[in-house]
C-alpha cells in the first residue's frame, strides 16, 4: 500500500509540475501568437533548433516522420509499395552512405550540436506521444536523419525522379560503343525605384499546399544572434527562406542541366565489370533493404514484407542495369551534405558580404536566390553547383561512361554564375524563367563562355513576360508599397498579342475559326473573349472553360505527343479541337452552360471550409489543382506561403506581413487548422515580427516543450 501511495505522489507531482517533462539539456520557450505561429526563444542556437523541431512535431508529426522515414529508407512502412519505390531510389542514390561518410568531415562541430538538438526534440516528442509514432523502428531519432530530407528535396528539384524513371523504366537513350562514340516567384526592390526609399522583398515559393514539401512558418530567436522568421519544411533545423533583422532572401527553382546519365561499357571478359579508357572496373554491389506495409489500412494495421533489391555504384555514381545495359546517374545533390549548414549560416548572416561568402559553400546545389537588405542592397543569382563539363559531348542526351573525360568533378565558381547586384533600375526578380532575365532588360546578366555546357533553360514564363508588362505600365515613376502588392497578387497572363501564351503553348486555340468548327463555335467565341483580358478573377465567366481545357488537354500531353506536335502542326490543332469538344461536353454536363464564374470551378478546400479562389497556373497569383468531385478543381499547389518584407529607410527591423494557405497547424480539429483560409483567398495578410516583445504581446500561449 505504501508503494502505491508513493507512486501516486510521483504521478501527482508530474501532473502538477508541468515542467517535469522538459528536457533539462535545452532551455527553450515557445510563444504561440494569435495565429498559432511558433516564436521559439532559446539561450543557444541549439536550444532554438530543439524548439523549432519540437514545434513542428506538435503541428504536423506525421509529416516530420515522413522526412525521418525517408532518411531511414522506411517509407514503405508508411506508404506501402509506393513508399518502397522511394526507399529504393534513396538507397540507389547512395544517400545514407554519403551521410555516414561525410557527417563528421563536412559539418562543423558547432552545427552538429543543432542536429543533436533536433534529434532530441524528435525523441522527446515521440516519448510523450507514443500513440502518434508510425513505426517503432523509427526510434531513436538520430542527428543524421535530418540531412537526407535536404538532399532528396534538392535532388527532386533538379529532376532526379525523371532520370531514375528513364534508367529503371528502360526509356533512357542508349549509345553504341561499336561506333564512334514540376513554380515560384521572388521580387526585390530598393530605393532606386521605391517611392518611400524603402527596401521591399516578396518571398513566395510555389510548393504543394499540404504534405512533405509544404511550408511551415516559424520564428527562431537565440541569445547567440540567431533571429530569423520565414518558411521551412516540417522537421528542418533552420529557416529555408525568410528574413532576419538585417536581410532576407527568397528561393525560386532554376532550370539547368544538373543531372547526367552515363551508359557504361560492359567488360565482356568479367561479370559486373565495366571499361573506362580500356581499364576494367568492378561495380560495387550492395543490397537495398526494403520494408513494405501491405495492410490496406496502414494507420491501424501492420502486414510487413521485407525484401532485398540489389543496387550498384560505379565511378560515375548510382548505377542500375536495365534491358539496354548498365547506366549511371551523376548529380551534385548526392555529393554534398553541406546544404543543411549553409541554410543555417544564411539565417545568421548580418550583411550582404557575409551572406555572399556563405554561398561559396555551394551546398545548395540549385535554386535562384533573390536577396534584399536594410542597407539598400538587392541581388539575384542563378545559384547552384553547376558541373564544369568538357566540350565534344551531347550533354543533353546519354553520355559515354567509358572515359574519364566525361567524369566531371568540379563546379563553376559562384562568381561565374548569372547574377545581378544593385541594378540601376532598382529591382530584381525571378519566376522560374531563364537565368538571363532577372532585372531590367538592358541590365540582365550576359552569357559567359564558361557557362557553355551548363544547359540553362532559355524559356520565359507567363509570369516573367507579365512582369515586364507591369513594369512598362509603371515606367517613369517610383513605386509605392501598394504597387508592389499589385504586382505580387496579379491575376493576368501577358496581355500583348505579341506575347505568346508561354509555358502552355496553346496560343492556337485563341485563333481557331468558328466557321470551320461550327459545333464548338460558341466555345471558341468564349476563349476569344477571355483572351482580351487574360484574367483569372473569381467572377470571370470565361476563364473556367479555358482552365478546364488546360487541365483536361494540355496537362495530359506526354513527351511522345509533344515531339509529334512539334513536327505536325495539324495533329496538334486536331488534338486541341477534339479537346475543346470534350470540354464543352463536360461544361454542359456539369453546369448546363459554358459561362461559369471561375470561383465556382476553382476551390480552396480543407475540412468543412470550401472557398472560391482567384489566380491560375503560371500566374503571379499561382494556383494549380486536381479534380476532386468530377467537376471542380481543388487547389493543391502554387500560392502556399507568402512573406512580404519592407525595410523602411533608417528602420531597424523589417515590417513583416505573411499568410499561410490554411493555418499554422496540420492537425485536423486544431484551432489553427483553417483559420487563415479566408484571408488567403481574399489576398490579405497577417502581421508578424522579429521582435521578442511583439511575440509576447501577441501571445496566445507560452510554454516550454514537453509541458
Grid-cell match 460558341, residue found: 522
- Give the residue-averaged pLDDT of 677-699: 98
Distances (CA, A) of 203 to 29, 38, 185, 345, 674: 27, 19, 7, 18, 22
Instruction: Tell me the per-residue pLDDT of 22-52, one tens digit each, with 9 for 90 and over.
Output: 799 999 999 999 999 999 999 999 999 999 9
Helix, strand, or coil here: 432? coil
pLDDT of 504: 74
pLDDT at residue 666 is higher than 70:
yes
Q: How confident is the model at residue 498 (pLDDT cuts 50, 70, 90)?
A: low
Contact predicate 182/335, CB 8 Å: no
For residue 524, give the nearest of 588, 589, 584 by alpha carbon.
584
Helix, strand, or coil here: 400? strand
pLDDT at residue 434 is higher than 60:
yes
On the question of a common fold for 43-181+259-334 and 507-616, the answer reads no
Distances (CA, A) of 355 to 108, 344, 361: 18, 11, 11
- Say how far residue 26 (Cα) sits from the centre of its chain: 31
Is 507-616 a CATH 1.10.1400.10 domain? yes
pLDDT of 161: 62
Q: How confident is the model at residue 650 (pLDDT cuts 50, 70, 90)?
A: confident
* CB neighbour class for 331 (10 Å; exposed up to 12, middle 13-18, buried from 19): buried
Helix (H) or strand (E) holding 442: none
N-term to C-term CA, the chain: 30
Distances (CA, A) of 26 to 15, 55, 121, 144, 222: 21, 14, 9, 19, 12
- Say how far residue 45 (Cα) sits from the centre of its chain: 25
**Which sequence spans correspond to the domains of the chain?**
43-181+259-334, 507-616
Instruction: Write the DSSP assignment of 15-68 as a string of letters.
Output: HHSGGGGS-TT--EEEEEETT--EEEEESSHHHHHHHHHHHHHHHHHHHHHHHH
Q: Which residue has the higher pLDDT, 98 or 3?
A: 98
Instruction: Tell me the per-residue pLDDT of 179-228, one tens digit each, with 9 for 90 and over.
Output: 333 479 999 999 999 999 999 999 999 999 998 889 999 999 999 999 99
* CB neighbour class for 671 (10 Å; exposed up to 12, middle 13-18, buried from 19): middle
Q: Which residue has the higher pLDDT, 582 or 213?
A: 582
pLDDT of 628: 75
Instruction: Tell me the per-residue pLDDT of 510-539, one tens digit each, with 9 for 90 and over.
Output: 999 999 999 999 999 999 999 999 999 999
pLDDT at residue 2 is higher than 70:
no
pLDDT of 630: 78
Q: What is the reported pTM?
A: 0.92
pLDDT of 16: 35
Q: In terms of residues, how long is the chain?
A: 707
pLDDT of 495: 86
Triad 669, 237, 217: Cα angle to 5°:
40
At 657, list the grid cell.
506581413
For the 43-181+259-334 domain, the top CATH level (class) is mainly beta
- Give the residue-averaged pLDDT of 77-89: 84
Q: How confident is the model at residue 89 (pLDDT cuts 50, 70, 90)?
A: confident
* CB neighbour class for 133 (10 Å; exposed up to 12, middle 13-18, buried from 19): middle
Amino acid at each position: 500500500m505504501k508503494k502505491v501511495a508513493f507512486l501516486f505522489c510521483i504521478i501527482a507531482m508530474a501532473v502538477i509540475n508541468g515542467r517535469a517533462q522538459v528536457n533539462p539539456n535545452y532551455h527553450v520557450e515557445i510563444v504561440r501568437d494569435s495565429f498559432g505561429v511558433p516564436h521559439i526563444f532559446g539561450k543557444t542556437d541549439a536550444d532554438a533548433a530543439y524548439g523549432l523541431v519540437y514545434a513542428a512535431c506538435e503541428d504536423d508529426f506525421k509529416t516530420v516522420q515522413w522526412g525521418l522515414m525517408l532518411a531511414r529508407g522506411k517509407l514503405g512502412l508508411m506508404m506501402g509499395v509506393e513508399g518502397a519505390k522511394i526507399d529504393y531510389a534513396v538507397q540507389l542514390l547512395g544517400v545514407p552512405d554519403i551521410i555516414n561518410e561525410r557527417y563528421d568531415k563536412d559539418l562543423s562541430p558547432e552545427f552538429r550540436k543543432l542536429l543533436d538538438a533536433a534529434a532530441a526534440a524528435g525523441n522527446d516528442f515521440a516519448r510523450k506521444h507514443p500513440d502518434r509514432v508510425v513505426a517503432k523502428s523509427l526510434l531513436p531519432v538520430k542527428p543524421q536523419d535530418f540531412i537526407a530530407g535536404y538532399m532528396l528535396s534538392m535532388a527532386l528539384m533538379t529532376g532526379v525522379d525523371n532520370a531514375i524513371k528513364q534508367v529503371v523504366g528502360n526509356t533512357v537513350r542508349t549509345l553504341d560503343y561499336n561506333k564512334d562514340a514540376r513554380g515560384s516567384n521572388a521580387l526585390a526592390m530598393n530605393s532606386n525605384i521605391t517611392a518611400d526609399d524603402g527596401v521591399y522583398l516578396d518571398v513566395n515559393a510555389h510548393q504543394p499546399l499540404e504534405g512533405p514539401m509544404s511550408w511551415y512558418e516559424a520564428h527562431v530567436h537565440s541569445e547567440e544572434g540567431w533571429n530569423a522568421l520565414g518558411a521551412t519544411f516540417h522537421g528542418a533545423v533552420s529557416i529555408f527562406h525568410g528574413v532576419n533583422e538585417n536581410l532576407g532572401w527568397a528561393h525560386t527553382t532554376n532550370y539547368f542541366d544538373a543531372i547526367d546519365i552515363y551508359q557504361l561499357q560492359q567488360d565482356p571478359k568479367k561479370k559486373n565489370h565495366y571499361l573506362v579508357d580500356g581499364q576494367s572496373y568492378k561495380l560495387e554491389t550492395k543490397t537495398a533493404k526494403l520494408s513494405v506495409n501491405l495492410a490496406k489500412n496502414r494507420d491501424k494495421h501492420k502486414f510487413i514484407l521485407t525484401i532485398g533489391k540489389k543496387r550498384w555504384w560505379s565511378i560515375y555514381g548510382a548505377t542500375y542495369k536495365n534491358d539496354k545495359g548498365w547506366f549511371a546517374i551523376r548529380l551534385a545533390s548526392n555529393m554534398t551534405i553541406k546544404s543543411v549548414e549553409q541554410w543555417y549560416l544564411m539565417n545568421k548572416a548580418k550583411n550582404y558580404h557575409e551572406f555572399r561568402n556563405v554561398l561559396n559553400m555551394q551546398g545548395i546545389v540549385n535554386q535562384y536566390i533573390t536577396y534584399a537588405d536594410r542597407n539598400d542592397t538587392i541581388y539575384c543569382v542563378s545559384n547552384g553547383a553547376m558541373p564544369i563539363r568538357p566540350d565534344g559531348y551531347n550533354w543533353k542526351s546519354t553520355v559515354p561512361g567509358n572515359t574519364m573525360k566525361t567524369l566531371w568533378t568540379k563546379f563553376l565558381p559562384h562568381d561565374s554564375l548569372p547574377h545581378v547586384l544593385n541594378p540601376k533600375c532598382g529591382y530584381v526578380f525571378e519566376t522560374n524563367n531563364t537565368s538571363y532575365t532577372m532585372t531590367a532588360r538592358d541590365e540582365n546578366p550576359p552569357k559567359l563562355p564558361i557557362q557553355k555546357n551548363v544547359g540553362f533553360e532559355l524559356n520565359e514564363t507567363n509570369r516573367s513576360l507579365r512582369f515586364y508588362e507591369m513594369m512598362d505600365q509603371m515606367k517613369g515613376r517610383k513605386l509605392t508599397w501598394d504597387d508592389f502588392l499589385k504586382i505580387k497578387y496579379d491575376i493576368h497572363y501577358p496581355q500583348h498579342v505579341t506575347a505568346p501564351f508561354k509555358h502552355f503553348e496553346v496560343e492556337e486555340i485563341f485563333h481557331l475559326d468558328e466557321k470551320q468548327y461550327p459545333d464548338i463555335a460558341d466555345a471558341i467565341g468564349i476563349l476569344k473573349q477571355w483572351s482580351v483580358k487574360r484574367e483569372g478573377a473569381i467572377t470571370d465567366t470565361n476563364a473556367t472553360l479555358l482552365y478546364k481545357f488546360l487541365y483536361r488537354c494540355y496537362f495530359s500531353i506526354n513527351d511522345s505527343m509533344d515531339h509529334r506536335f512539334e513536327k505536325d502542326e495539324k495533329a496538334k490543332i486536331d488534338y486541341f479541337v477534339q479537346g475543346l469538344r470534350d470540354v464543352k461536353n463536360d461544361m454542359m454536363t456539369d453546369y448546363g452552360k459554358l459561362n461559369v464564374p471561375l470561383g465556382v470551378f476553382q476551390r480552396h478546400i480543407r475540412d468543412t471550409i470550401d472557398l472560391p479562389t482567384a489566380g491560375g497556373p503560371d500566374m503571379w497569383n499561382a494556383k494549380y489543382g486536381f479534380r476532386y468531385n468530377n467537376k471542380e478543381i481543388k487547389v493543391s499547389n502554387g500560392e502556399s506561403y507568402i512573406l512580404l518584407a519592407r525595410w523602411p529607410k533608417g528602420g531597424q527591423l523589417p515590417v513583416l506581413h505573411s499568410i499561410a494557405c490554411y493555418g499554422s497547424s496540420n492537425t485536423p480539429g486544431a484551432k489553427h487548422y483553417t483559420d487563415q483560409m479566408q484571408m488567403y483567398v481574399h489576398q490579405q495578410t497577417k502581421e508578424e515580427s522579429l521582435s521578442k516583445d511583439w511575440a509576447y504581446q501577441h501571445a496566445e500561449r507560452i510554454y516550454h516543450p514537453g509541458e
